[in-house]
Amino acid sequence: MRTGITITALAALALFACTDTLIEPPADDSLISTSTAADCDDPRPGLDDPCGSGTGSGGGGSSYLPRDVANDWTSASCRDTSLGGGDSDADGLNDGCEYDVAFAFSPAMKIDRRDDVRRDEYYVVMPGSGNKVMIFYAFGYHRDLGWNGIGDHNGDSEFVVFEIMPAFESDRPWRLLRAYLSAHRNSAGESSETITGGRMERDSSGRPLVWVAYKKHANYKSQSACDSGGYASRDSCDNNTRSTRFWVYQNGNLGQINHRTYPSPPGCAVPSRTLDTSNKECYWNLGRFYGWQGSENGGGSTGYQDILYDFGFNGARAHING
């Protein structure tokens, strides 16, 4: 009897250890690698606090959230494609500006350390209406763990869309005007929301902060919004004590539908950086999203092409009204 108790206790301890281990993206631009990270590390060391040291604060009543952008980009210089960086996706925005803006506004994330948040992040930057710049952050989670083990499947295509107003003079901040936070979009428990940038919480470095629902990865503006979201209010952020953020890579820009960063082989060509697999995913093509793990376990999630199209990222001007 004592032996049985000992084995059971050891098994329980091993199970806890496994569920408390998280694999984060590597701190470099390698296409395929695996890294077990600490609570927070930064792929661009020294530029700013990568995750922040807490939940920070709200917008203080302002309608927008300001952020400084590296290399002093302005509305005019961002549209000057003759500058270093060029315009490989032919959308009228300088590639260097796209990267720096995507990095500056990449959201901080509060997550539950027991969750499986393995992911491969990609993004799209393109013009919006007027002088605005639109950013689509595709989190690309490998797994959706379901509610209490029900409905779990490979791939979870959660995302956020940011509407940004550029600076018109040097040494001025850019401004997050509005944010769309996906939360079970077009499915049971729909809790997605569009809010002004000033209503976003910030981490201690000033980044916009999203609360990520345990196991389901829906995005929320606050812990209380998370705890009341999802089907029958089943989403939870009660134990979201770990800080991380959306990693922005030089090779993470998906380009545009007619000028893709990963154009071949035709169809689904986007690789995983963190899984040792030859599987590719679709972003600009029809198809379910399986998190680079195939369709063996469940039917995957909504393909990113449908979502990108809904927000106008397949046209000349993107928008936030998906």
Maximum separation of any 2 CA atoms in the chain, in Å: 76
pLDDT tens string for the chain (322 positions)?
333 333 333 333 333 333 333 334 333 332 222 223 334 544 433 334 445 555 556 655 689 999 999 999 999 999 999 998 899 999 999 999 999 999 999 999 999 999 999 999 999 999 999 999 999 999 999 999 998 778 889 999 999 999 999 999 999 999 999 999 999 999 989 999 999 999 999 999 999 999 999 999 999 999 999 999 999 999 999 999 999 999 999 999 999 999 999 998 777 899 999 999 999 999 998 889 999 998 766 689 999 999 999 999 998 899 999 8
Q: Element (H or E) spanning 135, and its range?
A: strand 133-138
- Measuring CA to CA, which residue among 32, 31, 49 is closest to residue 41? 49
Cis status of the peptide bond prior to 173, with omega within 30 of 0: no
Upper half-sphere CA count for residue 141 (Cβ side, 13 Å): 26
Question: Using CB atoms within 10 A of its CB, is residue 196 exposed (0-12), middle (13-18) or buried (19+)?
Answer: middle
Q: Are residues 191 and 235 in contact, defined by beta-carbon separation less than 8 angstroms? A: yes
Residue 148 is predicted with a pLDDT of 78
pTM of the model: 0.84
